[in-house]
Amino acid sequence: MSGKFIVIEGLEGAGKSSAVTIIKAAIEQFGKPLVCTREPGGTPMAEAIRNCVKQDWRDEKVTVEAELLLMYAARAQLVQNVIQPAINADQWVLADRHDMSSRAYQGGGRQIPDSMIEPLRNITLKGFKPDLTLYLDVEPATGLARARGRGELDRIEQEDISFFERTRERYLQLCADDPRAVVINTMQPMENVHQDITKAINLFLDKH
């Protein structure tokens, strides 16, 4: 038996926290040893980078290049120090966000070309990919309204709606090109969303 890597992706307000809870329960029910983590974050250094990325630097503009580099710096720490060792030890890993987030947010939202992102992906991941990605799809206006209901928005969550529309468009493109990605419609009743998530994870578990 070898460990597997499962990722939850989606815009703000898509319901990733609920999805993590559902998937965690399903994996544990199958008796799989599980490590849960998040991006950016998951290690002491990566968590410090997360705080740096999300903080609203009122007197300094955060360049798109700096944001991109910070995301991949945090990812390098997490992949090499947590995710790959866990998988090598036959554990399963469930992550709230991974590389698809950078390709969608920085690539789509910030409009950074692939020619800038690909070298960082190669350095950081060396071809490493999730075994399953569940993308929770939500219209940006709906997702942001849900996010505002949770409290104060962070620096990235304060971007204008067009940023999130570009990000969502890129997410959908990436999922269409990835046979390991499953799109979950989170704009339907919550009961149906949970059923679709459960169906997707159980189908994956049955194969592994």
pLDDT in tens, 127-146: 999 999 999 999 999 999 99
Q: What pLDDT is stored for residue 115 in this prediction?
A: 96
The 10s digit of each residue's pLDDT in 76-131 is: 999 999 999 999 999 999 999 999 999 999 999 999 999 999 999 999 999 999 99
Residue 145 CA to residue 175 CA, distance in Å, equals: 24
Confidence class for position 1, pLDDT limits 50, 70, 90: very low
Number of Cα atoms under 13 Å in the Cβ half of residue 140? 18
The 10s digit of each residue's pLDDT in 146-185 is: 988 887 788 998 899 999 999 999 999 999 999 999 999 9
Which residues neighbour 14 within 8 Å (Cβ) at sequence distance 6 or greater? Answer: 136, 137, 138, 143, 186
Retrieve residue 55's tokens.
Answer: 């903080």
Q: What pLDDT is stored for residue 142 in this prediction?
A: 95
Domains, the chain: 5-207 (3.40.50.300)
pLDDT score of 28 more than 80: yes
Q: What pLDDT is stored for residue 50 in this prediction?
A: 96
What are the C-alpha distances in Å from 170 to residues 10, 103, 196? 11, 8, 22
Q: What pLDDT is stored for residue 160 in this prediction?
A: 94
The owner of tokens 């304060």 is: 158
- Report whether 41 contacts 83 (CB < 8 A): no
Retrieve residue 30's tokens.
Answer: 């199958």
Q: What pLDDT is stored for residue 149 in this prediction?
A: 84
- Mean predicted confidence (pLDDT) in 62-68: 96
- C-alpha closest to that of 101 among 175, 34, 204: 175
Confidence class for position 4, pLDDT limits 50, 70, 90: very high
Other beta carbons within 10 angstroms of residue 173's beta carbon come to: 14
Q: What pLDDT is stored for residue 134 in this prediction?
A: 98
H helices present in the chain, as ranges: 16-29, 44-54, 64-78, 84-88, 99-102, 114-125, 140-150, 161-176, 190-207
Q: What pLDDT is stored for residue 86 in this prediction?
A: 97
Q: What pLDDT is stored for residue 116 in this prediction?
A: 96
C-alpha of 144 from chain center = 17
Q: What pLDDT is stored for residue 171 in this prediction?
A: 98
Instruction: Please give the model's pTM, rounded to 2 decimal places.
Output: 0.95
